[in-house]
Structure 1
Amino acid sequence: MTTVRTRRRSTKADDTTAQATPEEVNGELQHYKVEEAAALIGMSRRWLAGRAAAREVPCTYISGQLRFTPAHIRAISKAGEVIPAQYRPAS
């Protein structure tokens, strides 16, 4: 006797489950390796890995592997930002 398995059709309620849109996959759900993230911020792999190990920069570990999201990379870049004082003409 052969058993036939059929797939249940999804309903509207099932469509609300976590399914990433292409924008999310290419955006915030993207995770970069240390080498990739270091290249994006213009630093060495060793520098970035050392700062992450010392918990000096935002990062995440997935299955024990160090990874960086675009938000982490932006935060690292922003942390080093210097805003010059406004120009004040001599009175």
Structure 2
Amino acid sequence: MASRRDERRPTVDAGRPRNRPPLRPWQIRDRCFNVRRHGLDPVEIRAFLHQVADELAVAQTALVAVQEENVRIKNALRAWQSAQSTNTRYR
């Protein structure tokens, strides 16, 4: 049985809480955690955060490239459609 809370619209959009900008690689690299006795190895945590930040930087760069390509293709399609509609009027 689903609760009322489950029926509400999710508060997360694309895996990220609303009204919060996306994480930047430098934010991941600079993140610090409190280390307690018998806790996690800080060097291992730092290495992992750097790896995640590097992968995020690559993904963000690829996203920008895809978005730019998308705009270029849409503009080319609009130009082609305009040319086609102009050509069919004068036949």
TM-score calculated relative to the size of structure 1: 0.26
Q: Counting helix residues as a fraction of each chain, which structure ranks higher?
A: 2
Structure of larger gyration radius: 2
TM-score calculated relative to the size of structure 2: 0.26
